[in-house]
Every structure is written in C-alpha cells, then in structure tokens.
Structure 1
C-alpha cells in the first residue's frame, strides 16, 4: 500500500511517499481503509521530534482518519462490523491507504457526515468538547475567549462553546479568518495583529474580563490572556502554534484565583505511557455520542480548507505550517 514515511526527525523534507506492507493487526484492533486523513499543526511537531507523542522510527504520520472498516481483531469491537463508516484517532499511521486503530478509538459516523468532514471529530472536536465541558466545566452565560479561532481547533472551540451556551469572543489574524469565526458562532472577533488584545477584551466584557480562555496558540496571546480574565477564570492551554511555550507568573494566578488547565487529548485515547483510567476511557464514547448528536442537530459545521491527494502531503503540511488554513486540510489516500 502507499504511505507517507518518516525515516528521521527532520520535518516535511524528511518525508517520502513509499510502497510499504499494510500495518500489522493489533489485539483488539480495527483495520480501516482510509478515505480521508486530517492534517494538523501537531503533525509538524511530531515530524520534528518535538511532540510529547514521539513514535519510533520509521513511522507514518497522521492521527485523525475516516474510512471503512475492513477487518476486526477478536471480540468486543464496540459493535463495529466490516463495512461500517467510521472515524478514528490513532497515535500515528493515518497518512496511508490503510490504518489499524484500537477499537476503543474507532467511532461509527452519522450517515450525513462525509469522510473529509469526519476527520475533525477524533481529535479536534473531541479536544474542544473535553476541554470546555469536562475540564473547564463551562456554564451557560459565561464568556469564552478563543485564540486561533479560524484554525480547525479554534473553530471547533467556537462552535462547541456556543453550543454549550457561552458568549464567544474570538481572536483571528485576517478579515477572512474573522468572518469564519463569526459565521461559526463568535459574538465578537478581535484582530490580534492590530496590537495587544487586553483593552478590546475588557471593552467587550464591560471591564470584567472573560471566564474561560481556550488557547491552542501560546506565546504572546497567552501572556495577554492573563491580563484580561475575570477572577476565578479558567485558562485552557491546548497547544503552542505560536512556537513559544509561555512561562506563567504564578503571582497572577494567585491574586486572581485563576485555574490553569492543561489538556492532552491523547491521554484519554490511551496513546502514551500514562493513560486515562477505564472509567474515563468509557466516558470517551459518550463524548462522541454527544458530538455526533450536535452535528445531526446542525450545531457543528466542519470546515474543509481543501482536499488534496496523498501524493501532495508536503503541500498540505506546508499550508498548515504557513498558517494559511481556515478549518482543516485533508489528504485523500
């Protein structure tokens, strides 16, 4: 089969499209004929060896796929059958014609959800929902600040936040990105390239500040967020697309009674050495039931920036690297 392979940690230029044997079946695994694979900023970190999920070399990148079940290993595959249309999250292996994922991380998708759009669910929508509902315990009527709001993660947080009853303020870096955030539920959008966001956020909140920050960007935006949050606010650190991991002045957390909350979705998907306990793993399926219900209610609208054939993997990754994306770039094996 065809697969994108990394034989060293060297970024995009270290990748090649190769003919390789299909992946070996795992105990309790599900083999999937991949119809679409999502491309993310996290993929770039993995390729550079800078992500907490560091696969052994050589490896095939890609953590979010959608496709058709072709084979099941053993019993208890969560009711899955060959021929089912599914999405799946996996620690690596998605940029290929076939992939094998743990049955607990494979989810049957609604009939009206296309394969490309379904790649948003295994990590992007799941991260936003887990962050806002589980970790920050967002309440209706609270104000949510979302950074990077036109990327896949940001748009997902805007939609999930609005669906949970929040007033959403978004930051974005261009008129097109601002328009996308508004179209998906943001009540207001701040151009973060125009200068520090503190005064704009305080103006929009009557001086009180926001209750929750969803931050996949880090860097300067994280620093500025600390100065425009309300007392008892929760700040969710999701990722560092800016390239700078911020350092937190603990005195600000103290004087404002702030909660700084980290979220690595791979913990819930049992990707790393430290994994969520069985009770949390069981809740993951409930989370996906809730996400698919929101989709069927017309509350979630996955945005596809563009679909590219697998052979154009480098173009897809560079588009993400250059921050040109609104929504998600998807590879079609």
Structure 2
C-alpha cells in the first residue's frame, strides 16, 4: 500500500545540504517532510537516482545554480508516480517514470517533478537504468543532434566515452547511422565503449593516440567531436577536427588558453551545451527520440556503481576521480 495513502507517515529519508562544500556536506536526514505536487507537478516514489558531475558543482557552490539552503540535490530519478497535480494530463498514479530534473531533489525517497521533465520508463528497463537516462542521454542527444546538427554518415569522436554521457552518445550515434569513435583511459573502459556502439576506441592515455584517430578518418579528422573535458583536450580537438567540423564542449573543469587561429584555418565551430536551456520544442524532440530508443532496444544505460542513499558522499567522491568513469553511478532509495 502507498505510504501516503495508507497511513500516517508524512516524512521521508533524504539527503540534505545545509552548507556548500565537499562531499562531506551530503547528510542523510530521516524526517524530511514529503513534498506535495502543485497543479502541473508529479510526486514520484523514487527507487533510484543518478549522480552527475553537475550535482557536485552545485553542492560545492561553484555552479551558477545556487539553491537556497538547505536543499536536496539531484536531477535524475526513476520510480513510480505516487500523486499528480490537478493539471497533469499524461501521467497517473502507478506509472513507471524517470525524470531529467526535479523540483525538490532526487536524492530522496520522494521527489516532485514538473510534467515536462518526466517521461514513461519502458518495462524493459530497471529503475536503476531509468535513473541513468536523464541528464546523460538528453545531453548526448542535444549535443550531437541539436547543437552539432549531426547527420547520419558523419564521423563523431566521443572524447571520454566510458562515462554516463559518453556511453549514451555512443549508443545514440550508432543507432542513428554515424561512424562512432570513442576514447577511454583504461582497457576496461575501451572494451565498454566498443560494447556500447563505438566502431573503434582509443586509449587517451597512450602517446600518439591522436595520430591513430586521424588515420582512422583517412587523415581528415572527425566531423564532430563531443568533448567531456575541454580544459584538457580542446587544443588537441582543434588540431584534430575536420575542416568545417563542429566541437561541442559538454564538460570542463578549468580554463584553457588557445589561439583563435585554430578556428580560422579549419573554419570549425566550437560551441557548448547546457541541457536546461532547452526549449519546449527541444524537450519534445528529445523525449520522442529516447522513447524510440527504449522501444527499439538500443537505449540501455550501463550502471557502473550503485550506492545506498546513506552513501551519497562516496558517490560524489567517485564521480570526480580522475580514473576514467565506467558507466553511470546510482543511488538506491
């Protein structure tokens, strides 16, 4: 029986941040009030939530998003609809769903989400896999299709392809007809990239790996580069990219100094991506494409590590290690 409809429990366990700082500020609280959805909102009983690098930036206070303290972190969640607002039209209690962002935070037993940022979770996927869809797959699709204007038949290099966004990008690009190249930092990571759609994979810790990528593109370079660590790789990307190619910066952990002449000689485009600036039309397109991926069977989030809710701090430590991510990191609630 539902906790809310059955009796008397009006509180839940949730991670709360009372001050900005390191992973240690993520504290479990056992008596956080269960939120109520408003007209266009949905209350979800969260079974799993996804960890993203952006969560760590927000937690530390270094992101341009600075929630009022205290707050519960987390955008990606998956679970079952508990209750819907009176204006909600596409969801009902009992539906299996996943979210791309939340109102009240995903690191909790319950979360309120806005209807535009939630979608039905296909029966073939677990809640843990559902929690791995949100930010990674929507960012990957937005980067490749909406920002890079990628076309089937083009070659895409996914730099840092063994993490959550990278694996999503490999699967999407392969399904849509791209030639897919990926990089990773370990033998295990390279195997994972190949299993998830890359035609070829390269170890970015090996000397000379950029020359191997150039050779794999017949000396022309890739049409598109999806870059997860721009502060380290952007100068190399500008040398590597095909003439009139496109580089999409998805992640960066610092600054880099480059010469504008790199962009002049190649006439290439360097752009960034910020998922939450997507328009309603963008959201509709992304929802539709990823629904098709679930129905056709190529959208399969790979879960690297699962932690209980109480170990949220460990999950934030792991995702920021410079050891090469291997799949999505999940909290189970």
TM-score between both structures, scaled by the size of structure 2: 0.91
- Answer yes or no: is the 8 Å Cα contact 2:189–2:324 preserved in 1: no
User: Is 1:292 aligned with 2:291?
Assistant: yes
Out of 176, 182, 185, the position equivalent to 2:194 is 182
What is the rounded CA distance, in whole Å, between the counterparts of 1:324 and 1:260 in structure 2? Answer: 24
Query: Alpha-carbon deviation of 1:109?
Result: 1.4
Distance 2:136 2:259 in 1: 29
Give the equivalent residue in structure 2 for 1:318: 317
Q: Does the alignment pair 1:85 with 2:99?
A: no
String of CA shifts for 1:183-203, please: whole Å, max 9, x gaps.
111111111111354322211
* Alignment partner of 1:206 is 2:205: no
Matched with 2:8 is none
Contact 1:9–1:47 (Cα < 8 Å) also in 2: yes
Residue from 239, 255, 262 that aligns with 1:245:
255
Q: Is the 8 A contact 1:197 1:224 kept in 2?
A: no
Q: 1:263 aligns with which of 250, 273, 281?
A: 273
Q: Partner residue of 1:329?
A: 329
Residue 67 of structure 1 deviates from its aligned partner by: 0.8
Residues in 2 aligned to 1:67 and 1:126: alpha-carbon distance in whole angstroms = 18
Deviations 1:247-296 (A, max 9, x none): 4432211221111121100112xxxxxxxxxxx31441332222121222
Instruction: Pick one of 205, 222, 227 that aligns with 1:215.
Output: 227
Q: Find the residue that maps to 1:100 and give its secondary structure.
A: strand
Distance 1:78 1:255 in 2: 52
**CA offsets per residue over residues 70-97 of structure 1, 9 Å max, x none?**
111221x241111111001225611001
Whole-angstrom distance in 2 between the partners of 1:51 and 1:18: 24
- SS of 1:317's partner is helix
**Do residues 70 (structure 1) and 69 (structure 2) align?**
no
* 1:273 corresponds to: none
Q: Does 1:156 align with 2:168?
A: yes
Distance in structure 1 (CA, Å) of the matches to 2:121 and 2:206: 41
Secondary structure of the corresponding residue to residue 210 of structure 1: coil
**1:223 shift after superposition:** 1.7
1:49 and 2:61 equivalent?
yes
**How many residues are treated as equivalent by the alignment?**
319
CA separation in 2, counterparts of 1:328 and 1:121? 9
**Contact preservation (8 Å) 1:169, 1:188:** yes
Task: Give the drift of 1:235.
Answer: 0.4
- Whether the aligned pair in 1 keeps the contact of 2:15 and 2:26 (CA below 8 Å) is yes
- Where does the alignment leave 5 or more consecutive residues of structure 2 unmatched? 1-11
Q: Are positions 1:303 and 2:264 aligned together?
A: no
Deviations 1:113-155 (A, max 9, x none): 2111011222111111111111111112211110111001111
Give the corresponding residue for 1:123.
135
| Residue of 110, 123, 137 corresponding to 2:149 | 137
Give the RMSD, CA atoms, in angstroms: 1.6
CA 1:324–1:197: 2 relative to 1, 3 Å: closer
**Residue aligned with 2:74, SS:** coil
Q: Aligned partners of 1:46, 1:63: CA distance in 2, in Å?
A: 11
